[in-house]
Amino acid sequence: MKTCSLLFFLFIGCFAQAQEAPIKWATQETFFEDLVGKELPNFKGLTINKKPFSKSDLKNQIVVINFWFEKCPPCIAEMPELNDLVRKYAGNNIRFIGITHDSPQSAKRFQKRNGY
Confidence of residue 11 (pLDDT cuts 50, 70, 90): very low
CA distance 89 to 19: 31
How many domains is the chain partitioned into structurally?
Answer: 1
Is residue 92 domain-resident? Answer: yes
pLDDT tens readout for residues 37-94: 788 888 888 888 889 989 999 888 888 888 888 888 998 899 999 999 999 999 899 9
- Helix (H), strand (E), coil (C) string for 10-22: ECCCCCCCCCCCC
Domain that holds residue 76: 7-14+40-114
Residue 89 lies in a domain: yes
CATH number of the domain to which 45 belongs: 3.40.30.10
pLDDT digits (tens, 9 = 90+) for 25-34: 445 556 677 7
Domain for residue 91, yes or no? yes
Q: Specify the pTM.
A: 0.63
- What pLDDT does 31 receive? 65
How far does CA 115 lie from the centroid of its chain? Answer: 18
CA distances to 3, 92, 97 from 58, rounded to whole Å, are: 19, 13, 10
Residue 44 lies in a domain: yes
Look at residue 21 and tell me whether its pLDDT is greater than 90: no
Q: Which residues contact 111 (CB under 8 A, 6 or more apart)?
A: 1, 5, 8, 48
Q: Is residue 2 part of a domain?
A: no
Terminal-to-terminal C-alpha distance of the chain: 6
On whether residue 50 sits in a domain, the answer given is yes
What is the residue type of 100? T
Residue-level pLDDT at 47: 85
SS3 104: helix
